[in-house]
Amino acid sequence: MPIAHSHASGMKGLRTAGDLVARMQCSKNMRLKDAKEYVAKKLGVDVLQLTDEYIMREIREELNIGIITSVTNKAKGLSAKANIEEVLGIKINGCEQLLRNQLP
């Protein structure tokens, strides 16, 4: 069923910009339209391009904010999330608790 929902209307998470739009909804209470516009502006694309795998794959690689396949030397986990913090201008708790708080 998650696959049916994802294919019927989902933003497709890491394949495109779904996680980024979800983060703006969750961190700033942005309604869908506002969240999409905010993310599109930060990434320098138009709203329709947010769900275009061809465009988003390249952007995600360039910004090093995590991609759906496991490519060597590309940011994953907390390092990808730290880059997302910078791109979107938000704080992510995992980076705070498990990265910055653990450094000297």
Partner 1 sequence: MQAKELSERINGVNQMTTEYYTRMGDGRRVVQTREQIYEDLIAGTSVGADLASVSDLTADEIDKMAEIIMDPSIFVSVGRGKEVALSMDGGTIRIDADQGNSGCGIPASRLIGLMTHERVFCQDTIELGHIDYSFKPVKPIVSHECQNMEVIQQNTIVPVFYGAMPNMGLYYTPDGPYSNPSDLMRAFKIEEALLSVEKSVEHLTRDMVWVMQKLMASGSDGVNFDTAGAAGDGDFLATLQACAQLRAEFPEMYIEIGMAGESVLGMHGSLEYKGTTLAGLWPHEQAKLCAKAGSNLYGPAINTNTGKSFAWNLARAVTFTKAAVLESPIPVHVNMGMGVGGVPMLETPPIDAVTRANKAMVEIAGVDGI
The 70-99 contact track toward partner 1, x by CB under 8 A, reads: ------xxx-xx--x-----xxxxx-xxx-
Q: Does 43 bind partner 1 (CB under 8 A)?
A: no
Contact 79, 100 (CB under 8 A): no
Q: Which amino acid, 77? A: G
Q: Does 19 bind partner 1 (CB under 8 A)?
A: yes
Q: Which amino acid, 19? A: D
* CB-based contacts of 40, cutoff 8 Å, min separation 6: 46, 47, 49, 50
Tokens matching residue 59: 């952007």
Q: Considering the complex, what minimum distance in angstroms separates the CB of residue 83 from partner 1?
A: 10
The binding site for partner 1 (CB under 8 A) comprises 1-15, 18-19, 21-23, 25-27, 29-32, 35, 47-48, 51, 65-66, 68-69, 76-78, 80-81, 84, 90-94, 96-98
